[in-house]
Structure 1
């Protein structure tokens, strides 16, 4: 797998009568976990579609490890909000689906996926069907299906949004623990500020549509993160900074973009 440095270089996207992306630009370093938050309808999902090569931008580039990958899907593994597990396939065969679509034989795909079942908390469920799994286990299976493709960058679009509060917290804690051992480069869309703080090295705050990067907030908290940290003053301070950014910090409605660093 390549290093996974992602650069978004001034992405613009307009649909007929609807400008959505207005020069979105930021970087994600190899092994970094970056979350994207912003007002509802600001264009987060459109941004992910452009990054993942599902939509082409009107202007700007997506660059991975120095190579222009605009409009290409190969560098990315994309996990949507719904797990999209096929009920007629076993859990193992669901996790290998992306590899099979890419041309790998079923036997080779299974051999690659099996070693991940234990660290993903799914050992013993290889031959189960999706309906036999809890909500958290289904999401772990969906994430396994994503990471087993061994792509440079993981794109996670509200992966825990459909889970109940307790299961969501458990999944956040599990993801925080497991990602440290793999060095994934991750870009996460979330509406949950606390989730963004808990999981991220940095949080990108998007402005209302047509969107641009309004602010980037460094999450200067030690790893591994624990649930107990959520009640700390440092955690609360980052949350408050993000809330202030979402409120616009005086920029929303001003008609002006924040100054860019030269």
Structure 2
């Protein structure tokens, strides 16, 4: 692959339950290059959220490590900016003040944080809404504000956990196309969890398919479609072929890529 931004090295994780030890991660390993967009899909309950929590430093692995820019970051959250499914915008703060929250928590002076966030309002389609409150925004605009709050922290890796999962299908499609378009102007390194195979193919440079629990990477699929991609790419034969590859991989089969 060449230069590596994020390396996940042989992660193992189990939990103790009333029924005994529950193994969840069973030697998960993969690398992500700088500026690469990688999606993770897998069957329900396979351990995707546990994997994210370990990478983000919210859980310690039983074995293995997480490496960012050549440094062991296992158990640390500072290299990552995390965006969950819900936008988690505070209704009493303006949109601008919501987007600066992560910077302020990190100790960035409020004036500096506002300048950094304000510079992104145009590219994120939020210009003119700096003084609005979240309840005045559409669902898609709220998610764009939440993503702005994530990326403005300027962390090494963005972790996106089903960020469009709570949106209706039309808004979700609009957000997918918007994200695919806007990412070409930035150099984000992104790891996305999604249950949506079509979303994974549309947005990703590579897709990792996890096996059932205890999980490991079952298959890696390179999405060899040019960027930027518009929604009409879903009608192309290669797009349909990649969807079929991923669907079969989720069913435990290894079709030809």
The TM-score bracket by the shorter chain reads over 0.9
Is 1:8 aligned to 2:8, yes or no?
Answer: yes
Q: Deviations over 1:16-69 (max 9, x none)?
A: 021110000001100000000000000001100000001110100000011000
How do 1:75-224 residues align onto structure 2 when only pairs under 5 Å count?
Answer: 75-224=79-228
| Partner SS for 1:198 | helix
Alpha-carbon distance between aligned partners in 1 of 2:90 and 2:170, rounded to the nearest angstrom: 25
Judge which range, 222-231 or 35-44, deviates more: 222-231
Is 1:72 aligned to 2:76, yes or no?
Answer: yes
In the other structure, the counterpart of 1:256 is: none
Q: Report the Cα offset of residue 4 of structure 1.
A: 7.2
Alpha-carbon distance between aligned partners in 1 of 2:59 and 2:95, rounded to the nearest angstrom: 30
Provide structure 1 residue ranges, at least 5 long, that are not aligned to the other structure.
251-262
Q: C-alpha root-mean-square deviation of aligned residues, in Å?
A: 1.0
| Contact 1:4–1:152, Cα closer than 8 Å, also in 2 | no
**Structure 2 length normalisation: TM-score?**
0.95
In the other structure, the counterpart of 1:55 is: 59
| Contact 1:100–1:109, Cα closer than 8 Å, also in 2 | yes
Query: In the comparison of the two structures, how many residue pairs are matched?
Result: 248
Alpha-carbon distance between aligned partners in 2 of 1:248 and 1:4, rounded to the nearest angstrom: 28
**Structure 1 length normalisation: TM-score?**
0.93
| Partner SS for 2:89 | coil
Provide structure 2 residue ranges, at least 5 long, that are not aligned to the other structure.
none
| Contact 2:4–2:31, Cα closer than 8 Å, also in 1 | no
Q: Deviations over 1:76-127 (max 9, x none)?
A: 0000000000011000000000000000111110011001001000000001
In the other structure, the counterpart of 1:27 is: 31
| Contact 2:37–2:190, Cα closer than 8 Å, also in 1 | yes
Is 1:246 aligned to 2:250, yes or no?
Answer: yes
| Partner SS for 2:185 | coil
